[in-house]
Amino acid sequence: MRKWIAMVALAIVASACIVQAGERLKIGLALPTQQEERWVRDMHAMQAEAEKQNIDLRVLIARNDQAQQNSQVEQLLSQGIKVLIIAPHDGEGAAVAVRKCHEDGVRVISYDRLIMGTDVDVYMSFDNVAVGELQGKWISNKVPKGDYILMSGAPTDNNAKLFQQGNLNILQPLIDKGDIKVIVNQPVIDWQPSNAQKIVENALTLSNNKVDAVLAPNDGCAGGAIAALEAQGLAGKIPVTGMDADGSAAQRIVRSLQSMTVFKDTRWLGEEAVKLAILMAKGEDIIPYTKGQVVNNDFMDVPSVLLEAVAVDKDNIDEVLIDSDYLKREDVYQ
Ligand code: BGC
């Protein structure tokens, strides 16, 4: 009888193990938008890594709307995710979602954009102040003196502040010296290219087309800015920055319509995020992984992994974007 009970118990334990072994680890991915090509690439990189590691990656995309993203996170929690990777639309507004995750014992990776004012488990991004400095250096080398249009990204996105901080680390001394005159300094709501276009149109009208440089915070905004310049016959005559290495921006760079972009390898970031999420799901300590690096989010020093970015212009585009297989030659040179 005892033997029989032991055998049944063993069978129950074994079948429980089989169910668990058969069930793939669920990781949630909440993305803010697919407006920029980069977010599609981030998603593909994460899906590829998840497939490689046999992870069930559940993806939900908000349309630049934090209320929508917060309810998507609740949806993911109800599907039984063990870790959430989230690029917030609104860095402050996403704090609620983090708290919900923690109530359910789900750890959170703040992906690319930092979630503010709450205890985020880890932040993975690029060194975004350094990204802004790359833009500032490039444009001030090209136009050391003159009238500038400065734009920054969405005010809801902490990255926008970091990029502009980097821009000003380089430009402010030249502004103080009087070499650079800022004719407009405006944020681009929701990073919308059409908003950037309006800002540049208004600045051109205001200054009678006397503009020497345009600091656009990303490639989408650069596209909007260049459309405004084109309407005045100025496209290609006034340097415009960008960021993201979008395919369309690369095309503009080789046609000398856009001056530069910043390459942030989303393949790398995406892959690392999934790897880290797996470690977190296993309850492993992530501090060794972050090597002591932190970024403050107005609540705490968040353990952080920050990757490096590279400035790209006509001179190194082949080497950086095509040779690395990020973009295809035939798509860039059309
Ligand atoms: C990202 C950029 C992107 C922008 C708009 C920022 O947080 O870092 O790569 O272009 O959001 O989506």
pLDDT of 20 over the 70 cut: no
Q: Please choose, from the candidates 78, 72, 123, the residue with its C-alpha nearest in 3D space to the C-alpha of residue 273.
A: 123
The average confidence (pLDDT) of the chain is: 94
Distance CA 16, CA 18 (A): 5
pLDDT value of position 83: 98
pLDDT confidence of residue 23: 87
Tokens of 317: 């585009």
Nearest atom in ligand 1 to the alpha carbon of residue 36 is 12
What digits encode the pLDDT tens for the residues 28-41?
A: 999 999 999 999 99
Output the CA 323–ligand 1 centroid distance in Å. Answer: 24
Q: What's the 177 CA to ligand 1 centre distance in angstroms? A: 31
Taking the C-alpha atoms of residue 322 and residue 334, their distance in angstroms, rounded to an integer, is: 14
Model confidence pLDDT, tens digit, residues 258-290: 999 999 999 999 999 999 999 999 999 999 899
Taking only the tens place, the pLDDT of each residue in 221-230 is: 999 999 999 9
SS3 (DSSP) at 145: coil
User: Which atom of ligand 1 lies at the shortest distance from residue 131's CA?
Assistant: 8
User: Considering only CA atoms, which residue is closest to atom 5 of ligand 1?
Assistant: 191
Q: Which ligand 1 atom lies nearest to the CA of residue 219?
A: 10
CB 84 within 8 A of CB 46: no
**Residue 266 CA, ligand 1 centroid: distance in Å:** 11
Distance CA 254, CA 315 (A): 9
- Quote the tokens at residue 259: 């001056």
Instruction: Tell me what pLDDT residue 195 has.
Output: 98
141-196 tens-digit pLDDT: 999 999 999 999 999 999 999 999 999 999 999 999 999 999 999 999 999 999 99
Residue 155 Cα to ligand 1 midpoint, Å, equals 12
Burial (CB < 10 A; 0-12, 13-18, 19+), residue 316, is middle
SS3 label, residue 310 = strand
CA of residue 190 to ligand 1 center, whole Å: 10
DSSP 90-113: STTTTHHHHHHHHHTT-EEEEESS
Ligand 1 pocket (Cβ < 6 Å) reads: 36, 38, 112-113, 153, 157, 159, 191, 218, 244
Whether 124 and 305 have beta carbons less than 8 Å apart is answered as yes
Between CA 94 and CA 77 the distance in angstroms is: 15
Q: Distance, CA 37 to ligand 1 centroid (Å)?
A: 10
Query: 150 C-alpha to center of ligand 1: Å?
Result: 17
C-beta neighbour count of 171 within 10 angstroms:
25
For ligand 1, atom 12, name the residue with the nearest CA: 36
Q: Which atom of ligand 1 is nearest to the CA of 264?
A: 9
Residues whose CB falls within 8 Å of the CB of residue 47, separated by 6 or more in sequence, listed in order: 57, 59
Residue 314, pLDDT score: 98
Task: Please report where in the chains the tokens 């929690």 appear, as a residue.
Answer: 77
Contact status, residue 125 vs residue 159, Cβ threshold 8 Å: yes
For residue range 306-315, list pLDDT tens digits in order: 999 999 999 9
What are the structural domains, with CATH classification, of the chain? 2-126+265-308 (3.40.50.2300), 128-263+312-332 (3.40.50.2300)
Task: Calculate how far, in angstroms, residue 38's C-alpha sits from the geometric centre of ligand 1.
Answer: 8
Report the 10 Å Cβ neighbour count for 23. Answer: 10
Of 199, 270, 259, nearest in space to 235 by CA:
259
**CA-220 nearest atom, ligand 1:** 10
Distance CA 280, CA 106 (A): 9
User: Which atom belonging to ligand 1 lies closest to the Cα atom of 112?
Assistant: 8
Residue 152 CA, ligand 1 centroid: distance in Å: 11
- Residue ID of nearest Cα to ligand 1 atom 10: 218
User: Closest ligand 1 atom to the C-alpha of 113?
Assistant: 7
